[in-house]
Structure formats: C-alpha cells, structure tokens
Amino acid sequence: MFSLASIATMAACLFLFGVFYAVIANFRAMISKAETRVGFTVFFDEGISDEEIAEIGEKITYRAEVSEIVLTTADEAWEQYKSEKLSPELIQTFGNDNPLENSASYTVYLNDISMQESLVRYIRSIEGVRKVNNKKDVSESLTSINKVLTVLAIAIIIILLGVAVFLIGITISTGVSIRKQEISIMKLIGATNFFIRIPYIVEGILIGLIGAAIPLIILNFSYGVIINALQNNFALLLSGTDFVDSGSIMKVLIPLSIGLGVGIGFLGSNITLGKQLKKIEVKT
C-alpha cells in the first residue's frame, strides 16, 4: 500500500526531473548555438591593404577561442547595403563608386563565449584595427538566463528529492511497525542488524528502481512524439531550432535517474531503519 504511494511519488519526482532535464538540455543547446551565432565585427584603419587585412585575419584565427572568421569585403558590404536599404533610383546616383570603401570587416565567431572580453581587448591592440563592435549584451543575457534556469532546476530537484526520501521513510517505518513483533523475536534469537535490515533496504532500493523505470519509459516514448508535434505545429516559430535528439537525452537520463532512485531508496530506508529499529526493544 504505502510502497505503491512511494513508488508513485518517486516516479513523479523523477518524471519531473526528466522533463526538467530535457527542457534544460534543449535550452542549453539553443543558447550555445545562439552564442556561437552571435559574432562581433572588426573594422580596419583607412587605406589598409588586402595583405594587411589577411595578416590581421591570421592573428585572430590563431586564437583558440575563435571558431571562425568571415571576411566581408568593401564591395560586398556595399552590395548588401544597396540591396537592403536603397531604392534603385538612388543607387543610380552612385554610379560605380563605392561609398563604403573603408568598410571591409571580419565577423568573428567564438566557440567559448566567456572568452569574448579578453579576445576583444586583444583584437583592439592589433595594429590596423580601427574598431570592434562588441555585442556583449546579447551574449551576457543569454548566459545569465542559462544560469538562472540551472539554479532553479537544481533547487526544485533538491526539494523533490527531500519529499521522496521522506515518503520512503514513512513506507519503511510502517513496514517496521507492522513487523515489530517479528523483529523483536529476531533480535532475541540473535539476528544480526544486517539480517534484520536487509529486506527493508532491498524494499527501499526496489522502490527507487521501479520509481526510476516508470518515468524513463514514459519519457523515452513521449519525448520524440512531443518534439515532432512541436515541430509540426509551430514550424514557423521554431524554424532553425535543432532539438536535442532522444538518444542523447536518454543516455544521460537513464544512469542519472536510476542512480538517483536507488540512492534515495537506499538513503531513505537506511536513515529510517536506524531510528525505527532502536525503538524496538526485547520486552521481558
């Protein structure tokens, strides 16, 4: 009876844990993708030669935290500007001149966003660099959302696990009180503590195992279905979002959930047993 309630609670806890994990994993994937998509732009001194630009490019690429740099030539910049901002009549007036002659730039992409500040400092110090457009704000706010989410998840999980330990404690202490007489006789006959404890510890661990297996099975089946439904129904909103695939979620979630379940089961039963068994005396 009570063990069913415990299994249900444990399953609910670990299910929530799994959902949280899946959401966070996806969110983190999105953030890190966004982070690497957010580059910053490096402009050069007026009248700089193509060779000098290439040299600066080499210096930047040499840094370990840089994943990629993309060169936008002055002509490309002008073409892009023309197509985006100007009407054909206006373009006519420029003829073959390029008013953005000095607008060649590198866009720098990072593989480690936390290194951005020091990299920007370094690039500014390179000779021939006029200006670095630092989009610090975007990356910082993304990173802080990431942090808040993780802290929130950890807090919720700790609370849930506390509840699970408490419920297993109740299950075990009911089990012990039902068998008080039996245990008291066992003590009298010379049963070791280990012998008396083992069935309850097994019970606790089983609760943990079953409580972990149920949500894992549910999550395994529903994850793909939910991702599919999301992609089909909100195609526009989610375009370009790559969801983390079910396999790599489960690869982490299975050992983590089972470990948590078994750990909580063991801990919950062990703590309670210590208290409960002390109460049972051999009455004479």
Partner 1 sequence: MRKIELERALSGEIEPPVIRLDDVCKDYDDDMHALKHLNLIVNKGEFVFVVGSSGSGKSTLIKLLLKEIGPTSGKIYVMGKDISRLKKNAVAKYRRNIGIVFQDFRLLPEMTVFENVAFAQRVIETPIKKIKRDVPNILSIMGLSERLDAHPSELSGGEQQRVALARALVNNPMLLLADEPTGNLDPRNSWEIMRLLEDVNKRGTTVIVVTHNKEIVDMMQKRVVHLNKGVLTNDYEKGGYSNVKN
Q: Binding partner 1 by CB under 8 A: which of 94, 195, 221, 234?
A: 195
Q: Which of 281, 35, 250, 270 is nearest to 169 (CA)?
A: 270
Q: Does 1 bind partner 1 (CB under 8 A)?
A: no
Q: Does 282 bind partner 1 (CB under 8 A)?
A: yes
Name the segment binding partner 1 (CB under 8 A); options: 27-35, 192-200, 232-240, 265-273. 192-200
Residues linked to residue 66 through DSSP beta bridges, in sequence order? 110
Q: What SS3 class is residue 257?
A: helix
Q: Does 187 bind partner 1 (CB under 8 A)?
A: yes
Q: What SS3 class is residue 238?
A: coil
Q: What SS3 class is residue 66?
A: strand
Q: Does 188 bind partner 1 (CB under 8 A)?
A: yes
Name the segment binding partner 1 (CB under 8 A); options: 146-154, 180-188, 211-219, 231-239. 180-188
Where are the extended beta strands (E) located within the chain? 40-44, 66-72, 105-110, 129-133
Q: Report the 10 Å Cβ neighbour count for 278.
A: 8
Q: How far apart are CA 104 and CA 76, in angstroms?
A: 8
Q: Does 192 bind partner 1 (CB under 8 A)?
A: yes
Q: Does 186 bind partner 1 (CB under 8 A)?
A: yes
Name the segment binding partner 1 (CB under 8 A); options: 37-45, 113-121, 139-147, 181-189. 181-189
Q: Binding partner 1 by CB under 8 A: which of 189, 235, 236, 237?
A: 189
Q: Does 193 bind partner 1 (CB under 8 A)?
A: yes
Q: How far apart are CA 248 and CA 250, in angstroms?
A: 5
Compare residues 67 and 193 and give the one whose CB is closer to partner 1.
193
Q: How far apart are CA 57 and CA 3, in angstroms?
A: 65
Q: Does 278 bind partner 1 (CB under 8 A)?
A: no
Binding residues for partner 1 (CB under 8 A):
181-182, 184-193, 195, 281-282, 284
